[in-house]
Amino acid sequence: MDFITKEDYINAVNIIMEPVRRALRQGGARPVYGSASAWYDDISVYCESFARPLWALVPLWHGGYGDEELKTLYREGLISGTDPGSMQYWGETGENDQRYVEMASIAYGLLFAPDVLWEPMNEKQRTDLASWLRQINAHSVCDSNWRFFRVLVNIALKAVGEAYSEERLSEDLTRLDEFYVGGGWYKDGMQNQKDYYIPMAFHFYGLIYSCFEKDNHAKRFRERAEKFAREYIYWFSRSGAALPYGRSLTYRFAQGAFWSACLMAGIKPFETAVIKGLISRHLNDWASAHILDNGGVLTVGYRYQDLIMAEHYNAPGSPYWGLKFFAMLALDDDEFWTAPAADMPKLHGRRLMREADMLVCREAGEVFAYPAGTHNELGCGHIPEKYLKFVYSTAFGFNVRYSSDSLPEAAPDSMLAFDVGGVYVVRRKNYSFEISENGLVVDWSPMDGIEVRTEIELSGASHIRRHEVRSEFDCVAYDCGYALAAADKDHCRAGADRTLAWVENNTARCEVSSVSGEGLSFGAAVNTNILSPKTVIPAIKYNIHKGRTVIETEIKVDFIVE
């Protein structure tokens, strides 16, 4: 399916909104999309399920589209959700409350569609809504991209003529500036996290701010977004797929929201046709994935429904955060709607992103990212797998651990996994790293008693890993290659011969080899890979002796063109 005209994108939103409409009819301010839950309370789950579809509806309404029923359902839901006397009241908030996340999309509505959500309300209803939102000023928010939630709430209150906190606004904007590290990159909080929260949160919200405020902060947000775009484009494959890396991947096409926000804010780091191509191919890539259940609800997962890869903050309504992608619907008579979808501009085969602590290579139109692995503190689910593999790619995705009880259940693609007494452990701590255009050197540890220095020498999608292992005991290690899709339609084949192992399907071949190790291939536990439910991984097995052991593995990748 091609996404070219405004009608194409509106149709996509309408399809996604059908189960939302049904849930709102039944639940009002507390719609229900599924039976799973998250770490936060159920009222926050309801609030999230209600609010997140606004990320698509608000720009749709701003652009003059949208049906009256959804407008009415959302207006009535806001009224009952913020009325302390209502049975559907979303409640009083506390410190670092999940409901502050959802306040951001409501603020988005007050900023871009006040004629739908604010102006039809009576005085009491407006007072209730404003009072409920102002709770964010009385409490702390997480010291991260969450600061922007309070920024948006305050500029929204200001825009509709309600009392707001200039003190909180100034405090948060100052703090957000402190997270900026240069080259268009921020770090998301003090844990040095650099992932999709930079484009889909920091830059997205900063560009919204710049649409309504014209101060020096707004100027800097726009300048930084322009710089960031020159690097971020390297995260997208020729087919439109974005790099699977980091947490919150269940937000899916929010990966492309940055490009829409640029258009909404009137900045164009590339020609309009190039941005059109990025946006169109990205949504088309997601349209080919199995991301809706049989009722049309967006599922938790990545390319398919999969709770194994989820974080503890993924509730049934969480994936609707991805609807930020549709910010471009706020555009009315804009050249974006008539521009062709141009191909990717010519990009370098290798890009050192020093501020992101990452080296990115492009091979056969696919993206291969070699991060230093600087983020390993946040315990929200599968952090080692999402940040600490040797390489991430649009071609193969990555696997998450099902358990540590066996090699298939550990599923350690693109990692060096240690078998210590029947327990499989992978990199968990980073000590230091060096990164250049030629590769990386990383000092790390999977557990007490084992320390590793890994040198990675790059050749596009292929690379050589040299590991110096210092262990206090004898054990076994497996140096693993990419995980290749093994569904029936992929006709996967695998094999091993002494110091070599390989896996091949209809699109690619991965071969791993060594001088001293033993080749093998194994099927990963089902539903551990984020792209394909079934995968096979080639690996080299090494005997690690007490003291110092040096091993070297070559990982080769070839793409099959039929």
Instruction: Give the model confidence (pLDDT) of 504-537 as tens digits.
Output: 999 999 999 999 999 999 999 999 999 999 999 9
Instruction: For residues 49-77, give the mean pLDDT.
Output: 97
| 105-114, 188-197, 210-219, 333-342: the lowest-pLDDT one | 188-197
Task: Look at residue 518 in the predicted model and tell me its pLDDT.
Answer: 97
Task: Look at residue 561 in the predicted model and tell me its pLDDT.
Answer: 73
Proportion of the chain above pLDDT 70, given as a percent: 99
Residue 377 pLDDT more than 80? no
Instruction: Give the model confidence (pLDDT) of 195-228 as tens digits.
Output: 999 999 999 999 999 999 999 999 999 999 999 9
Residue 487 pLDDT more than 90? no
Task: Look at residue 454 in the predicted model and tell me its pLDDT.
Answer: 98
Instruction: Give the model confidence (pLDDT) of 403-412 as tens digits.
Output: 999 999 999 9
Instruction: Give the model confidence (pLDDT) of 261-295 as tens digits.
Output: 999 999 999 999 999 999 999 999 999 999 999 99
How many degrees, rounded to 5, is the angle at CA 37 between CA 31 and CA 38?
115
Instruction: For residues 410-439, give the mean pLDDT.
Output: 96
Distance CA 263, CA 269 (A): 10
Task: Look at residue 213 in the predicted model and tell me its pLDDT.
Answer: 97
| 282-286, 306-310, 489-493: the lowest-pLDDT one | 489-493
Residue 488 binned pLDDT confidence (cut-offs 50, 70, 90): confident
Residue 376 pLDDT more than 90? no
Task: Look at residue 562 in the predicted model and tell me its pLDDT.
Answer: 61
Residue 378 binned pLDDT confidence (cut-offs 50, 70, 90): low
Q: Give one DSSP letter per residue of 487-545, joined into a string.
A: SGGG--EEEEETTEEEEE-SSEEEEEE-SSSEEEEEEPPTT-BSS-SSEEEEEEEEEEP
Residue 347 pLDDT more than 80? yes
Instruction: For residues 298-311, give the mean pLDDT.
Output: 97
| Residue 552 region by backbone torsions, left for phi larger than 0, else alpha for psi between -120 and 50, else beta | beta
Assign domain 6-337 one CATH number from 2.60.40.10, 1.10.3210.10, 1.50.10.10, 3.30.365.10: 1.50.10.10
Predicted TM-score of the model (pTM): 0.97
Instruction: Give the model confidence (pLDDT) of 352-369 as tens digits.
Output: 999 999 999 999 999 999
Task: Look at residue 191 in the predicted model and tell me its pLDDT.
Answer: 80
CA–chain centroid gap for 45, Å, is 20
Q: Is residue 413 within 8 Å of residue 399, measured between CB atoms? A: yes
Assign domain 350-559 one CATH number from 3.30.230.10, 3.60.21.10, 2.40.50.140, 2.70.98.70: 2.70.98.70
The single residue listed with the structure tokens 């909180």 is 168
Distance CA 80, CA 433 (A): 53
Domain ranges of the chain: 6-337, 350-559
Residue 29 pLDDT more than 90? yes
Distance CA 96, CA 42 (A): 16
Q: Is residue 97 within 8 Å of residue 44, measured between CB atoms? A: yes
Residue 24 pLDDT more than 90? yes
Task: Look at residue 420 in the predicted model and tell me its pLDDT.
Answer: 97
Instruction: For residues 149-165, give the mean pLDDT.
Output: 98
Residue 560 binned pLDDT confidence (cut-offs 50, 70, 90): confident
Q: Which residues of 260-286 are buried (b: 16+ CB within 10 A; e: fewer)?
A: bbbbbbebbbbebbbbbbbbbbbbbbb
Instruction: For residues 140-164, give the mean pLDDT.
Output: 98
